[in-house]
Amino acid sequence: MAVLRFPEENLLVNSEPEIREALAPLGVDYERWSLDRVSPDASADEVLGAYADEIEEMKRRGGYVTADVIDVNPGTPHLDAMLARFDKEHTHDEDEVRFILSGRGIFFLHINGRVASVEVGPGDMLRVPRGTTHWFTLCEDRRIRAIRWFQDTAGWIPHYTESGVDKGYQPLCFGPAYLGPRVVTTISA
């Protein structure tokens, strides 16, 4: 389950319908998908086969031409360099679409002068439209496994804004503890 925060407003949203409703006006799609198709340690091909229907549906919805499975963990070669490509505010010429199989990370979305952080975890599907200013970081265990969709087989390239906005936000992960019953919560200072 994701955790959506608007840090400036001390607003935290942690239920599926409220997250979906809060992100929709920003043009960002959020959905919860089943994780019971394959075992967590299934191969990439097994994952792509198990989610073939969803993959094709997303291709139809978004014009994506290909999908793959990315697997990042502390042993991934050049992990710091990889993460450094995406932890500064940037845009892409195509959508950034992820279905999280395991691990956690945070998408910071900077839309209409407002910053939202979306901490995604297993079972979360997030679609960030092309042109959206955003940045991404992993949570402390530096692990994530996700299905990605692409509109261009050349992959996606970050266009940096150099705004420096990203420097004002700590990558604070709440984790699955926020699966609790609260729906919309104001964080006390």
**Residue numbers of the site for Fe ion (CB under 5 A)?**
96
Of the pair 15, 135, the CB lying nearest Fe ion is at: 135
Nearer to Fe ion, 96 or 124 (CB): 96
Burial (CB < 10 A; 0-12, 13-18, 19+), residue 115, is buried
Pick the closer one to Fe ion by CB: 29 or 96: 96
Nearest-CB residue for Fe ion: 96
State residue 86 phi and psi, 5-degree precision: -120, 0
DSSP-based three-state secondary structure for 76: coil
Instruction: Report in angstroms how near the CB of residue 135 gets to Fe ion at its nearest.
Output: 7
Q: How far is the CB of 107 from Fe ion (least distance, A)?
A: 8
- How many other C-beta atoms are found inside a 10 Å radius of the C-beta of residue 45? 9
Nearer to Fe ion, 159 or 182 (CB): 159
Shortest distance in whole angstroms from residue 151 CB to Fe ion? 13
Three-state DSSP class for residue 108 = strand
Instruction: Collapse the DSSP code of 144 into the 3-class scheme (helix H, G, I; strand E, B; otherwise coil) and give the result.
Output: strand
Q: What is the closest distance, in whole angstroms, from the C-beta atom of residue 29 to Fe ion in the complex? A: 15
